[in-house]
Amino acid sequence: MGKQFKVIKVSNTWSIEKLRKKVEDTLNKSSEEGWEVIDISYLANLYTAMITISK
């Protein structure tokens, strides 16, 4: 079996600071589960981040 990839959407409609905290928590949880972060993209004006991870 090859590498697995996963894309996680994280969003918060209230503030960029709350989004930052949600992204940080998601990264820490994924790291504990053995996933490696490939990319983090923030979508302009939508308070949304897309996190690509692999294992």
Cβ-based neighbours of 48, under 8 Å, separated by 6 or more? 9, 10, 11, 19, 42
Residue-wise pLDDT for 13-28, tens only, equals 888 899 999 999 999 9
Instruction: Quote the mean pLDDT of the chain.
Output: 92
- Sheet with 5-11: strands ordered across: 5-11, 48-54, 36-43
pLDDT at 46 over 90: no
pLDDT digits (tens, 9 = 90+) for 27-42: 999 999 999 999 999 9
Does residue 7 have a pLDDT over 80? Answer: yes
pLDDT of residue 11: 93
What is d(CA 27, CA 25) in angstroms, rounded to the nearest whole number?
Answer: 5
Give the three-state DSSP class for 25: helix
Domain boundaries, the chain: 5-54
pTM: 0.83
